[in-house]
Structure 1
Amino acid sequence: MHVSFIFTLTALVGIGSAKSGCGKAIPDEFPSPGSSKTLSLPNSDRSYRIHIPSTYQHDTKAPVYFSFCGAGKDGHEQEGLSQFSNPAFNPDGIAVYPETDNGVWLSNQYAHTSHPNDLDFTDELLTHLEESLCVDQSRIYANGKSNGGELTAVIACNATVGSRFAAFSVVSGAWHETGDVPGVGACEPAKRDEGYPFLIFHGTVDQTAPIEGDVEDEIVPIIDVLHNWAERNGCDKDQKWARNVTIHEDPLVKRAGWDCDGKTNIVEFYREGDNGHCWPCTHSNDDYATMGRDKCPMGHYVFNATEIIFEFYSRYQLNSQFQLEM
């Protein structure tokens, strides 16, 4: 039996205006505006890297952008790879790079699936940031690369944690078939008017997480992932995209978009011809430099994924209310 309740966003997550960081000086342990620093989460054995923009004002609410690293990587590497701290892409948002516990995120077969719980870590970290800094709770976003991208989907599927994020993006996601949500069971996001905007990038020659999937390694084809998120946003099961356009000829880059429940391009996909398991960037980055031409054959790419991600995020923010189905 399902009973629907209406909650305000702040009531659900337990953050009231009295606990807001707005109007307060930046805590001493945090980096100064325009810089980054790796910190420990209080009352926890977990850590994270954070960048506060040079434009930050203690009385002006700032958006927050989480970016989760791939397996075996860390927050410092993810900061350089994603460029979420670069004011050319993100002039006024707080960028956060959570650290893994043992090199992998929940959903990876080598992750600690019981303790610590990456969902709890994300939830507690976000609460800590909201209490410490002037955060716009309607503009909080999640992104991930590879295993971090898979965690981004796990977060979106969680009715409590996922409800705090306005939109999601994944680069070269490693999507495994271990239940509706890898490692955590069924995908049951909270019902809300905004839906769950999802942006996915994937290369056609990705050897780590093949775009067509891999039965032996239980990797899900990207088209199935896209259909699942379109359906969760109100599309019919396996509904075809509303548009699929060529945005670059050589290499061939296609952009597909799904319109679901009156929401245009609520799910978007960039199919990167001739790109591997690499963060698309018009100049060489850590992926292209460390994985080599066998996995990143072009050495760079024809667009910057980060620029597209921030444009996508700019379309979405949370309303003050949504439904939680129980």
Structure 2
Amino acid sequence: MHEGNLRNYILYVPNAYTGQEAWSLVIHYHGFGISAATQMDYTNMNATADTAHFLVAYPQGLIVEDLIFGGSGPGWYIPGSYGADHDDVAFTDSLIDHIDADYNIDLMRVHATGWSNGGEMSYYLACKLSDRIASIASVSNAMNEMSFDSCQAGRPFSTLLFHGTADPFFPYTGVPGAFPPPPLTPAFWAVQNNCSTDSLVSELPNLVSGDSCTVTSITYQNCVPGAEVQYYRINDGGHT
């Protein structure tokens, strides 16, 4: 229970985990309108956890209201984007403690990631819970205008963004009055981390022919120690 609500999550523990050494924890947030189980099946993160040796938690969101596009469904409360009467930052804080009580996790290596609304939640945690979250990675969503105005990480912080230029839900040009263009989010974190104004831009090999997509890597350089800012632009990529 948290704030009077029954909160659920799926925890994946690789067979190689013995508890003798502390492992990283990745918290993986689902997109708006779907479930933790769907996110787990869709991303196949468990296979990566098996080889890289970390635990994965898939929390289940409560019902939120989409303030930009309308509708309601399972998701994450983020002021300016998704409305609700519960606090998902506080829930995440408690979730880390709950898992740490039962498993040997390295509290300096707790990371957040997610897709769509879950990706935006990851950035929101970077702003609001940087004392517990070591880094974040977001897929198909970035920071809203309210987060730009109020975000205070308080320390060097690594971020990773994947975003498609043909995303129909969170357009590459942004949503006026709600979401700045997605490339401004890594640029924001480059400033926060005192990176140099120049970035290293390179085209990645096109390993999947026929999908009409290519990938441009944009790496911000000379950031303060302990921080990396990376952006993968999926050219002609959608909301995936």
Say yes or no: TM over 0.5. yes
Compare relative contact order (CA 8 Å, sep 6+) and give the higher one, 1 or 2: 1
| Contact kept in structure 2, 1:141 and 1:167, CA below 8 Å | yes
1:270 has 2:238 as partner: no
Residue 41 of structure 2 corresponds to 80
Asked if the contact 1:230–1:260 (Cα under 8 Å) also holds between the matched residues in 2, the reply is no
How far is the alpha carbon of 1:265 from its aligned partner? Answer: 7.8
| One-letter amino acid of the counterpart of residue 244, structure 1 | V
Tell me whether 1:227 sits opposite 2:197 in the alignment: no
CA offset digits 1:199-227 (Å, max 9, x no partner): 100111100101121216x2210121111
Structure-1 residue corresponding to 2:94: 124
Name which one, 1 or 2, has greater alpha-carbon Rg. Answer: 1
1:235, 1:261 within 8 Å by CA — same for their partners in 2? Answer: yes
Distance 1:234 1:187 in 2: 15
Q: Are residue 62 (structure 1) and residue 30 (structure 2) matched? A: no
Unaligned runs of 5+ in 2: 64-73, 207-211
Q: Greater CA deviation, 196-205 or 82-91?
A: 82-91
Q: Kindly tell me: are residues 42 and 135 of structure 1, through their superposed partners in 2, closer, same or farther at Cα, counting changes over 3 Å?
A: farther
Matches within 5 A, 1:146-225: 146-158=116-128, 161-177=129-145, 179-181=146-148, 186-191=150-155, 195-215=156-176, 218-225=178-185
TM-score normalised over the length of structure 2: 0.84
Structure 1 residue 261: Cα displacement:
3.5
The CA RMSD measured in Å over matched residues stands at 2.4
How far did 1:58 drift? 2.3
- Following superposition, the deviation at residue 254 of structure 1 comes to 0.6
Amino acid at match of 1:111: G
CA spacing shift, 1:90–1:215, aligned 2, 3 Å:
farther
Between structures 1 and 2, the one with greater strand share: 2
C-alpha distance in structure 1 between counterparts of 2:48 and 2:192, whole Å: 33
Contact 2:14 2:54 in 1 (8 A): yes
Deviates more, 1:219-228 or 1:82-91: 82-91
Of 247, 261, 276 in structure 1, the residue corresponding to residue 204 of structure 2 is 247
Contact 1:83 1:89 in 2 (8 A): no
Mapped partners of 1:104, 1:43: distance in 2: 17
- How far, CA to CA, are the matches of 1:132 and 1:49 in structure 2? 14
Matched, 1:258 2:220: yes
- SS of structure 2 residue aligned to 1:77: helix
Q: What residue is the counterpart of 1:4 in the other structure?
A: none
Deviation of the 1:170 alpha carbon: 0.4
Unpaired runs of at least 5, structure 1: 1-39, 279-326
SS at 1:168 equivalent:
strand
**Contact preservation (8 Å) 2:158, 2:226:** no
Q: Distance in 1 between matches of 2:114 and 2:192?
A: 20
Equivalent pair of 1:84/1:90 in contact (CA under 8 Å): no
Percentage identity across aligned positions? 25
Check conservation: 2:14, 2:50, Cα contact below 8 A.
no
Alpha-carbon displacement from aligned partner over 1:73-97 (angstroms, at most 9, x marks no partner): 1110111122221147644211001
- DSSP 3-state at the match of 2:6: coil
Letter of the structure 1 residue corresponding to residue 191 of structure 2 = E
